[in-house]
Structure 1
């Protein structure tokens, strides 16, 4: 379902709590060019609403938002964000 080959930047925010995942995404977006894609892996439930709101308010496109299980069966979240 996901296409990681299109990601320009990958962020592993697993284990981090709000607001760190969104702050790291914000930094990555600021350093990237328009059209670049940032891939985010997270374990914090709050990213499921924080990242979509971040994209909506700042004009970035949320290409993918999915919830999946890691190798140990723990819930994690996966996002692809395209810089607007």
Structure 2
């Protein structure tokens, strides 16, 4: 999946735990089931928290990319 293939984006740069996941919890509801949300964050704790969020709530973590201090996730919303 290329970087342009997502429906909505959540920019959580500069935010720290638990804010990125709290914002993700709200923003994922703006995506239709099966749609893709792109999350951009700078908090290293998201590497742990976002996969757990997806697993716990039934969303698919399509990709996780770390580029220096930037973390980019593509999440497919579950039903």
Aligned residues: 78
- Name the CA distance, whole Å, in 2 between partners of 1:76 and 1:35: 25
SS of residue matched to 1:79: strand
Question: Runs of 4+ in structure 1 displaced over 2 angstroms?
Answer: none
Match of 1:80 in 2: 74
Residue 31 of structure 1 deviates from its aligned partner by 2.2
The answer as to 2:7 corresponding to 1:8 is yes
Point out the more displaced range, 53-62 or 21-30: 21-30
- Name the CA distance, whole Å, in 2 between partners of 1:19 and 1:48: 13
- Name the CA distance, whole Å, in 1 between partners of 2:3 and 2:65: 13
Alpha-carbon RMSD? 1.1
Query: TM-score normalised to the size of structure 2?
Result: 0.92
Residue 29 of structure 1 deviates from its aligned partner by 1.0
Match of 2:64 in 1: 65
Residue 58 of structure 1 deviates from its aligned partner by 0.4
**Structure (1 or 2) with the larger CA radius of gyration:** 1
Q: Which runs of 5+ in 1 are unaligned?
A: 70-74
SS of residue matched to 2:49: helix
